[in-house]
Structure 1
Amino acid sequence: MNARRLTELSREEALELLRGVGLGRIVFTEDALPAIRPVNHLVDGDAVVIRSHTGAALTSSVNTVVAYEADDIDPKEHTGWSVIVTGIAREVTDPAAVERYKSLLRPWVDRHMDRVLRIHPTFVTGFTLTNGHPHGVR
């Protein structure tokens, strides 16, 4: 098996990769325990935007710290990338912004999505995994 090289990404590089995919996982607290849900997203500026519905467990994360993770890892080669955004989830309440996000971000489940959440990142981290040894060292 080839060695893998892990390279840390800059904030800008990580956000650019995140813009290129539409599915990730939000990590939040539910009843004092960690919870994870797959959701689709878009990146607007440096904020991650997701849609949800009233009564969903993740709507309890409004005004709290959450993490959002997305990746593209080849299961056979074990190469690719992963990005994590950590920040405060806020509900989008401006009607024009809500309508804009509804038009740009289609739900991937068959359910009425009436809530829009925006994660304002405090931290953006990420890495790539590539084949090979750093600097040609074996």
Structure 2
Amino acid sequence: MYSDDGFRELGRQECLVLLVRAPVGRIVHTRHALPAVLPVTFCLDADSAVLLRTAADSDLARSVDGVVVAFEADEVDARAHSGWSVVVTGRATVVTDPAEHGRLSRTGPRSWVATPRDVFIRIEPELVTGRELVGGRTAYGVDLSL
């Protein structure tokens, strides 16, 4: 990243604060040896882990358990040419402990789709990075604040 490219690097704590504001994010994982991206609802746990909720028999639950994934959320204002993007990279695991599942059923993310049996996926925040786009920047001699 160049120092004058219109972006500002965000610190880990800034990234986590921004994630709390986002209603939807995207999990990036491998499916059939190809990259896959799915929009998901989520929340952060007390330890800053990203929590997702999905059907127990879903492709997502089967494909991410025990592997490293990326999770991305953002907010963009196209008119103001501003926004931010945060990426959390870490190992995903399906929560199997009954007590933990019970706790997350009360405090974790709500699913938009009712399923007869659901699971929670926890993504440990091993690497948290983010960028903020500063609005109204002039690039290549063109004023973007119009």
TM-score by length of 1: 0.86
* TM-superposition CA deviations, 1:91-120 (whole Å, max 9, x none): 112222212222232102233451111001
The number of equivalent residue pairs is 132
Question: Is residue 51 of structure 2 the alignment partner of residue 49 of structure 1?
Answer: yes
Once residues 11 and 66 of structure 1 are traced to their aligned partners in structure 2, the CA distance between those partners, rounded to angstroms, is 18
Q: Which amino acid aligns with 2:52?
A: I
Which of 91, 102, 107 is 2:94 aligned to?
A: 91
Q: Indicate if the aligned counterparts of 2:20 and 2:43 stay in contact, CA closer than 8 A.
A: yes
Q: Indicate if the aligned counterparts of 1:4 and 1:129 stay in contact, CA closer than 8 A.
A: no
TM-score by length of 2: 0.82
Q: Which amino acid aligns with 2:53?
A: R
**Larger relative contact order, structure 1 or 2 (CA cutoff 8 Å, min sep 6):** 1
* TM-superposition CA deviations, 1:31-62 (whole Å, max 9, x none): 11111111111111221000111221211110
1:103 match: secondary structure: helix
Which structure 1 segments of 5+ residues have no match? 134-138
Query: Identity over the aligned pairs, expressed in percent?
Result: 44
Cα offset for 1:124? Answer: 0.5
- Name the structure where strand makes up a greater proportion of residues: 1
Question: Is residue 36 of structure 2 the alignment partner of residue 32 of structure 1?
Answer: no
Cα offset for 1:132? Answer: 4.9
Q: Indicate if the aligned counterparts of 1:28 and 1:66 stay in contact, CA closer than 8 A.
A: yes
Once residues 4 and 113 of structure 1 are traced to their aligned partners in structure 2, the CA distance between those partners, rounded to angstroms, is 47
Once residues 96 and 114 of structure 2 are traced to their aligned partners in structure 1, the CA distance between those partners, rounded to angstroms, is 23
Q: Indicate if the aligned counterparts of 2:25 and 2:42 stay in contact, CA closer than 8 A.
A: yes
Q: Counterpart of 2:19?
A: 18
Question: Is residue 123 of structure 2 the alignment partner of residue 119 of structure 1?
Answer: yes
What RMSD in Å do the two structures reach over aligned CA positions?
2.0
Which structure 2 segments of 5+ residues have no match? 138-146
Once residues 33 and 119 of structure 2 are traced to their aligned partners in structure 1, the CA distance between those partners, rounded to angstroms, is 22
